[in-house]
Structure 1
Amino acid sequence: MSEFKKRVLVGSPVHQKPSILEPFLRSLQRLACNTIDIHFFFIDDNENNESSAMLTSFQEKNQNVKIESSQLADVYLRDEHTHYWNDRLVWKVAGFKNHIINHCLEEKYDYLFLIDSDLLLEPETVEHLIQTEKDIISEVFWTRWQPNTELSPQVWLMDEYTQWEQRRGEVLTEDEKYKRHMEFINKLKEKGVYEVGGLGACTLLSQKALEKGVNFKQIKNLSFWGEDRHFCIRAAALGIPLYVDTHMPAFHIYRDSDLAYVDEFMTKEKTQVSAKEEKKNKLTLSMIVKNEGNRYLKEALEKHKQYIDEAVIIDDGSTDNTVDICLETLKGIPIHLVRNEHSKFSNEIELRKQQWEETIKRNPEWILNLDADEIFESGFATGVKEILDQEEFDVVCFRLYDFWNKTHYREDEYWRAHFVYRPFLIRYKKDFKYIWKETPQHCGRLPENVFELKSMLSQWRIKHFGWADKEARVAKYKRYAELDPESRYGWHEQYVSILDESPNLVRWTE
């Protein structure tokens, strides 16, 4: 052993079934030790003799492994629905963890890494966490705490499991809570190190933090459930900030059904295990909405939900249930929602730039810019993958058809948009200088110089329902008459033609 290596104690109370304990121990055995010297300390709380035998086998095959029996025989229940804890079990585990802490201090280890026995690690996890130079830091993992719910991280911002920012005394609507919650969740899906208010189960603690007195003892005047809450509050009171790292998420075997994904995680046969690793060719929907409640928004989002990975929504001063429709329809999809108190549409360039800036904040790979009344034809949900996977083109152009009712689009000398391919989908390039057409109306939904990038034409078509009912057409005519009375930014004859009583219509066919 090199004298320059940091000494790390990996500690775990173990009450585990063999099918889960086996990959857990295999994961520990492959931990990288290039810059650290790892020792192990298990507290054997198993009621299953086979599990105890597996710990003994691990000890025989590896150096520096310490095992102590808990001498207890509690029953711990779990099923495909959840895990069933009681107060006695919680504080029993807290006692085990404190015993490990005391051993770490007595033996003067540089770090303690506490890990639950149903987690799998990337080999470089411990070395990486040490490199962050944080006194208390967890590696993130994602879990469906209840069946058919969204994956959630094991870290939080305040109280027992609050995952949104809220100042003391601040009153938030449910919409605002959801928005802030999604901002937190989305942030953790980006690789980084972030300060949090609570963590656990996969945590590195420095000798400095241990010597300050962090531990899992119950704080008697605190009603919060779980030993991790008491640990985190004590750490904060001692002035030790808590952090989470998201570079190499652990894998949580919370249910027996999760065992099906163990080999994928351990062998890295796939680049993604559920939501635990970053998705390649992420597709971000970018959209501006305003008072779309009784129009096509819900139908459009239901279609888009089939193929997008996240959405950036700018609500431009809606006074109806537009925001509720967005949140409900895209439930399960990360949403970055921005609400303008007053509409910016009278100066469209300001609104489009806002949309762009909020979208690129999400570090997108591909950006799909659609309005709330635009829907791709059938088949696009499967066909888009081929576009996203190709590496030659960065701008993708489509034909847009202006529907005058639910089944027919308009085609005449004034309405020929579908004869032209326009950009709706682009690969975002951080090093490219994007330039906008600086006009208050008809400025374009994307920067005007995107064609400096290599573009392609797609056969997939877009159905535009913005003109599909007479009331909407009249409203748009009045709006253009007000915002562009001299037709400086649009075509006067086309403005007038909006009110044509008998335009030429063509039936749509897929």
Structure 2
Amino acid sequence: MKILIGCPVRNRAWILPHYLRAMQSLDYPREKLQYCFVLNNSTDCSQEIIEEFARNNNTDIIICDQEKPRGVERGYYSFTHLASLRNTLLNQFLETGADYLFSVDSDILVPADSLSRLIAHNCDIVSMLVCNGHQIGDPDVYNVLRQVDDRYEYIRDFPRHGVFPVDCTGAAYLIKRRVITRGVRYCTDGGGEDIGFCQQAREMGFQLYCDGSLEAFHIMHENQLSLLKNNGTVKTGAGE
């Protein structure tokens, strides 16, 4: 199976070396990996870091500078802005011969065995756990949601072994090519761009899952880099 790994990138020079090192540590044949990064309005040396990486890795770099986003913001992006950037990545994916898109946000470090384990599940869409609650002081908030009537709520009672169904996920997930060829795209319907993507996928009959035994480390702030070992990997328990 050929895999395209990618994400939008903006001003991530402080974390990119660790992110790229984690990708190179994946226990998957290197010749079957391809990368694509959508750079947007970076004012640091993110582009130079990725260009250096591209010298020894099969990498597409898309410069997609846009005007300052408007609307509801998450960090430096609006949801509409993020949806556009992520759809640029999906469209580029279709230009490759990859079987899967491994979509991993640029502030997330994945375990070395994560890709091979997600592929083994043979799901249309399957994620690993990513804690999103550190910023709001709730360590039980992860990237897994269920739909309740016309709203979404975080799943807190998920199993820590095997896969379980979800209605919405994101941050670090594996997507089969057929999902993207069917036309599933990011949009702001229902809220954030991940919600729109997942709603479209479900409406087209695709099922979404998360592997509760796999957890990536979400580095939301530069001061969290102290949790890394000298080799750039996450210390045991750091993502818990």
What's the CA shift for 1:247?
2.3
Retained in 1: the 8 A contact 2:5–2:104?
yes
Higher radius of gyration, 1 or 2: 1
Q: Secondary structure in 2 aligned to 1:157?
A: strand
In structure 2, the partner of 1:226 is 192
Q: State the secondary structure of the residue aligned to 2:229.
A: helix
Pair 1:235 & 2:206 matched:
no
**Partner secondary structure for residue 161 of structure 2:** coil
In 1: Cα distance, 2:212 partner to 2:133 partner: 18
1:274–1:119 CA distance, 2 compared to 1 (3 A): closer
Task: Give the letter for the 2:153 counterpart.
Answer: T
Q: Does the 8 Å contact 2:215/2:239 carry over to 1?
A: no
Equivalence for 1:107: 96
- The CA deviation string for residues 298-323 of structure 1, in whole angstroms up to 9 with x for no partner, is xxxxxxxxxxxxxxxxxxxxxxxxxx
Change (3 A) 1:269 1:200: closer
User: In terms of mean alpha carbon deviation, does 130-139 or 38-47 score higher?
Assistant: 38-47
Higher relative contact order (CA 8 A, sep 6+): 2
| 1:162 alignment partner in structure 2 | 153
Q: How does 1:43-62 map to 2 (within 5 A)?
A: 43-60=38-55, 62=56
CA–CA distance in structure 2, aligned partners of residues 58 and 74 of structure 1: 28
Match of 1:69 among 57, 63, 83: 63
- Indicate conservation of the 8 Å contact 2:131/2:143, yes or no: yes
1:187 matched to 2:158: yes
- C-alpha spacing 1:112/1:142, structure 2 compared with 1 (3 Å): same
**TM-aligned CA distance change 1:162 to 1:66, over 3 Å:** same
Shift of 1:207: 1.4
Correspondent of 2:173 among 196, 203, 207: 203
Whether 1:244 aligns to 2:204 is no
- Deviation of 1:253 (Å): 0.7
TM-score norm. by structure 1 comes to 0.43
What residue number does 2:75 align with?
A: 84
Q: How much has 1:126 moved relative to structure 2?
A: 1.3
**TM-score, length basis structure 2:** 0.87
| Pairing 1:278-357 to 2, within 5 Å after superposition | none
Distance verdict in 2 for CA 1:269–1:107, change over 3 Å: closer
User: What does residue 136 of structure 1 align with?
Assistant: 125
Q: Which residue pairs with 1:12 in the alignment?
A: 7
Q: Please name the residue that 1:255 is paired with.
A: 221
- 8 A Cα contact 1:111 1:204, kept in partner: yes
Report the number of matched residues.
236
1:35 to partner: Cα distance: 8.8
The corresponding residue for 2:238 is 273
Partner of 1:26: 21
RMSD over aligned CA atoms reads 2.5
List runs of 5+ in structure 2 lacking aligned partners.
none
Distance 1:230 1:53 in 2: 32
Give the Cα–Cα distance (whole angstroms) in 2 for the partners of residues 148 and 103 of structure 1: 37
Looking at structure 2, the residues matched to 160 and 36 of structure 1 have their Cα atoms a distance apart, in angstroms, of 42
1 CA distance for matches of 2:185 and 2:173?
Answer: 13
Label 1:208 to 1:263 Cα distance change in 2 as closer, same or farther (>3 A): same
Q: Which amino acid aligns with 1:22?
A: P
Q: Which whole-Å deviations, capped at 9, do the CAs of 1:303-354 have from their partners, x for residues lacking one? A: xxxxxxxxxxxxxxxxxxxxxxxxxxxxxxxxxxxxxxxxxxxxxxxxxxxx
Tell me how far 1:129 sits from its aligned partner. 0.8
CA shift at 1:264, angstroms? Answer: 7.8
